[in-house]
Amino acid sequence: MKKLDWYILRKFFSTFVFCMLAFTVIAVAVDSSEKTDDFVKTGLSTFEIIRQYYVGFVPFIWGMLFPLFVFIAVIFFTSKMALR
């Protein structure tokens, strides 16, 4: 692959990873705020909640929202590239 191809791929994947992490943080924050009462009732520590619940929740969110991540990354990526 040529140098320009690597540049474009690097810019796209950095935008994609940023979108993926941003939406994951938002999804976990919203979900944890909705389930705070349930977590308190169970009496589990924060580490146990993360290990038992969010280790399975995050891949589920990634799988469900993967097309959205790609779409938003493409929109942001192409708009950034158009400015140059």
Q: What is the pLDDT of residues 4-20, one digit of tens each?
A: 899 999 999 999 999 99
Q: What pLDDT sits at residue 69?
A: 93
Say how many residues make up the chain.
84
Residue 81: which pLDDT band, with cuts at 50, 70 and 90? confident
Residue at 4 is within a domain: no
Residue at 56 is within a domain: yes
| 24-69: pLDDT as tens digits | 999 999 999 998 898 889 888 888 888 888 889 999 999 999 999 9
What the block records as the tokens of 79 is: 């708009």
Residue at 7 is within a domain: no
**DSSP one-letter code for 52:** I
Residue 84: which pLDDT band, with cuts at 50, 70 and 90? confident
In total, how many domains does the chain have? 1
Residue 32 belongs to domain spanning = 26-83
Distance of alpha carbon 74 from alpha carbon 20, whole angstroms: 12
Tell me if the pTM is above 0.85.
Answer: no
